[in-house]
Amino acid sequence: MARRKKVYEGKAKVLYEGPEPGTFVQYFKDDATAFNAEKRATIEGKGVLNNRLSEFFMTGLNSIGVPTHFIKRINMREQLIRAVEIIPLEVVVRNVAAGSLAKRLGIEEGTPLPRPIVEFYFKDDALGDPLVAEEHILAFGWATQQDLDDMVSLGLRVNDFLSGLFLGVGIKLVDFKIEIGRIWDGDYMRLIVADEISPDSCRLWDIETGQKLDKDVFRRDLGNLADAYTEVARRLGVMPQREAGPTKPTLIN
Ligand SMILES: Nc1ncnc2c1ncn2[C@@H]1O[C@H](COP(=O)(O)OP(=O)(O)OP(=O)(O)O)[C@@H](O)[C@H]1O
Ligand SMILES: [Mg+2]
């Protein structure tokens, strides 16, 4: 049986060639990394949870007209996605000061921001994904002004959707990161949400207790990461019980 071709292996996911041109299979690993991969661990069950949660968020976004790469889930760890040309920028949307923003500007973590703030970071592991201004993006040609406008608008729509969803289950969406890519319909190009949306790429705080339910649990050694993600999935009604699943990639037709 022919093994399907690996297109890319990153820190948290593997991309394989999909069954049709213009598609990939995205496999979610159990690996966790932080601080630009200086800290690493394997957290059993994380890949299964993130596959399910990303499916849940992307399906919801698709249904309200925010385009995403998600096509369908294949199994516990894999989903079929549209292949895009990733724009080399991480789009971060913040509602509350935390992480690098709190540090950089000397704002106490937990301070609500006057309005959502959209930031761009240049995707380059060797440089540690530095914060960049629109000027850099335009001057170096990473994206056009129209792309930037579309990215801000996508980021804010995703923020409104996710904030509401989490608010409904007693969770504050502090900030999150998305990646955006280009697809072509003939000559017509448009931008869609790609990569993943999961507790790996969000900051989620319990509204009542302030308990962290995201990757900061791993970054700051605050407890069991899979338990925190399971709690998020449980509240959203995504995956009531932890399920056991295949740990190896499987072939799809
Ligand atoms: N729909 C898509 N089409 C093409 N590439 C995608 C798509 N969705 C995600 N990707 C890319 O696939 C990779 C997913 O792997 P992973 O998140 O593990 O990478 P990573 O280690 O974080 O590295 P990177 O710095 O490249 O993001 C990322 O490089 C991401 O940009
Ligand atoms: Mg990544």
Q: Whose CA is nearest to atom 24 of ligand 1?
A: 10
Pick 6-83+225-236's CATH classification: 3.30.200.20, 1.10.600.10, 3.30.70.20, 3.65.10.10.
3.30.200.20
Looking up tokens 């989620």 gives 204
Write the CB contacts of 39 (distance below 8 Å, at least 6 apart in sequence): 33, 218, 219
Which atom of ligand 1 is the closest one to the Cα of 179?
A: 31
Domain over 85-206 is classified CATH 1.10.10.10: no
For the chain, residues classed under CATH 3.30.470.20 are 85-206
Residues having CB within 6 Å of any atom of ligand 1: 8, 10-13, 15, 24, 69, 81-84, 86, 123, 125, 179, 181, 194-195
Per-residue pLDDT of the chain (253 residues; tens, 9 = 90+): 457 899 999 999 999 999 999 999 999 999 999 999 999 999 999 999 999 999 999 999 999 999 999 999 999 999 999 999 999 999 999 999 999 999 999 999 999 999 999 999 999 999 999 999 999 999 999 999 999 999 999 999 999 999 999 999 999 999 999 999 999 989 999 999 999 999 999 999 999 999 999 999 999 999 999 999 999 999 999 975 555 555 667 677 6
Write the CB contacts of 235 (distance below 8 Å, at least 6 apart in sequence): 169, 170, 171
Which atom of ligand 1 is the closest one to the Cα of 83?
A: 3
Ligand 2 centroid – CA 208 distance (Å)? 30
For the chain, residues classed under CATH 3.30.200.20 are 6-83+225-236
Query: SS3 sequence, 172-237?
Result: EEEEEEEEEEEEEECCEEEEEEECCCCCCCEEEEECCCCCECCCHHHHCCCCCHHHHHHHHHHHHC
